């Protein structure tokens, strides 16, 4: 970007002072859930029989647009910990025993995949940003991840806990700032999540729990971020420009999560999609305003955390986006569900796939785009980015 105008991308005009994403990685637990079989399996595994709730969950599973998801929860876990499917039983210790181990294993796997694609030594990592809303312990998961990867003891660590769905982009914003203020640094951003922390049996008094059952998935994601890439050894994917975070006053209860003796009690207000719709254009206008130019939003690519189909639909309508603009987000939602902070990694991977497919059709893809996510607060996170593979 020069003088407020967008410029054509090439390896020769990468800004050495701007952070770039140098590699992406992901990992999942072994349990694959097919949405078509979820309802029967969920009621069977929790030993519940409620035709009305079962019908409601069936409707929700169809409206979420999710096709497949990965989850840590299994029959083996419920056989070992049957209390996880019981009402009113203190189970936070059991849940954290499972979650703390699971998120570390997935974070290590995703990070190793990312580091392998990056192509440099793990000893070249100088900083670690770790994001999770699925564990609680001291020392935190950042230290266990560093140990599992064999990071140097002087690796500088930052931990972001309980940022929810906006955590992946929040972590990317923090990694961007670290990279741009520490010349020569290479930052590993790792996210890892599992729904076991809030797993509950169906209950007519908590019909809103069924939204999470129909929508959320488990997994991990990772990125390497750094400035001034070595083009002989590294492949820059995205250049990160302006970042912005905003919260909406008096919306703290719209996304409500509390750690209780029975795990996390989590609730999404029905008004969430409408609130995002009412505020997303102002946020995007402010974010793009830093670029000093009027922007056609259909001239950008969109890497949006898919909180759910209603949020994507409302965004698409409000910003008058063409249907294909949110295709990467919709694909990630269909394939992995809402995997909280991890999902932005999966969306960015699909952006790169779409770029390659467009180029194979001898067309020019969008060079500039927005990375967006929405989380508790309600918090908006956004980064103006440039696709360096175009």
DSSP secondary structure of 175-212: HHHHHHHSTT-EEEEEEEE-GGGG-----TT-TTHHHH
Mean pLDDT of 310-337: 97
Residue bearing the bigger pLDDT, 362 or 162 = 162
For residue 203, what pLDDT band results from cuts at 50, 70 and 90? very high
Mean pLDDT of 52-60: 95
The rounded distance, in Å, linking the Cα atoms of 73 and 387 is 36
What pLDDT, on a 0 to 100 scale, did the predictor assign at position 293? 63
Q: Among 61, 99, 114, 165, which one carries the catalytic annotation?
A: 165
Q: pLDDT of 367-388, one tens digit each? A: 999 999 999 999 999 999 999 9
- In this predicted structure, the answer to whether residue 2 has a pLDDT above a threshold of 60 is no
The rounded distance, in Å, linking the Cα atoms of 306 and 66 is 11
Q: pLDDT of 219-248, one tens digit each? A: 999 999 999 999 999 999 999 999 999 999
How many Cα atoms are found within 13 Å in the side-chain-facing hemisphere of 5? 3
> DSSP strand E in the chain: where?
20-27, 31-34, 68-71, 127-132, 156-161, 186-193, 219-226, 238-247, 255-260, 263-268, 301-304, 368-375, 379-387
Q: pLDDT of 342-367, one tens digit each? A: 999 999 999 999 999 988 776 777 99
pTM of structure: 0.94
Mean pLDDT of 114-133: 98
Q: Does residue 165 have an active-site annotation?
A: yes
């Amino acid at each position: 970007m020069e003088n407020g105008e967008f410029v054509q991308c090439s390896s020769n005009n990468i800004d050495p002072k701007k952070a770039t994403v140098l590699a992406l990685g992901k990992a999942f637990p072994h349990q694959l859930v097919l949405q078509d079989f979820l309802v029967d399996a969920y009621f069977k595994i929790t030993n519940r029989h409620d035709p009305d709730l079962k019908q409601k969950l069936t409707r929700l599973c169809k409206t979420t647009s999710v096709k497949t998801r990965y989850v840590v929860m299994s029959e083996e876990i419920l056989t070992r910990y049957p209390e996880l499917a019981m009402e009113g039983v203190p189970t936070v210790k059991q849940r954290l025993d499972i979650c703390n181990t699971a998120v570390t294993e997935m974070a290590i796997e995703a990070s190793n995949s990312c580091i392998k694609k990056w192509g440099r030594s793990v000893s070249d990592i100088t900083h670690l940003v770790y994001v999770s809303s699925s564990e609680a312990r001291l020392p935190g998961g950042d230290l266990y991840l560093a140990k599992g990867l064999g990071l140097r003891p002087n690796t500088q660590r930052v931990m972001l806990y309980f940022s929810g769905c906006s955590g992946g982009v929040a972590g990317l914003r923090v990694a961007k700032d670290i990279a741009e203020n520490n010349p020569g640094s290479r930052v590993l951003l790792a996210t890892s999540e599992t729904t076991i922390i809030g797993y509950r049996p169906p209950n007519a008094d908590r019909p809103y729990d069924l939204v999470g059952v129909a929508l959320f998935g488990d997994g991990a994601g990772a990125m390497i971020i750094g400035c001034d890439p070595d083009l002989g050894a590294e492949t820059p994917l995205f250049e990160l420009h302006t970042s912005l975070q905003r919260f909406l006053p008096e919306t703290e209860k719209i996304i409500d999560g509390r750690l209780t003796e029975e795990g996390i009690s989590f609730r999404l207000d029905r008004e969430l999609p409408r609130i995002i719709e009412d505020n997303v254009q102002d946020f995007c206008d402010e974010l793009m305003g830093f670029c000093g130019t009027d922007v056609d939003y259909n001239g950008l690519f969109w890497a949006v955390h898919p909180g759910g189909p209603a949020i994507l639909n409302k965004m698409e309508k409000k910003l008058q986006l063409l249907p294909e603009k949110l295709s990467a987000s919709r694909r990630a939602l269909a394939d992995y569900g809402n995997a909280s902070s991890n999902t932005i990694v999966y969306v960015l991977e699909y952006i790169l796939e779409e770029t390659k497919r467009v180029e194979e059709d001898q067309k020019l893809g969008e060079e500039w785009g927005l990375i967006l996510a929405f989380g508790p607060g309600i918090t908006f996170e956004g980064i103006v980015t440039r696709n360096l593979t175009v």
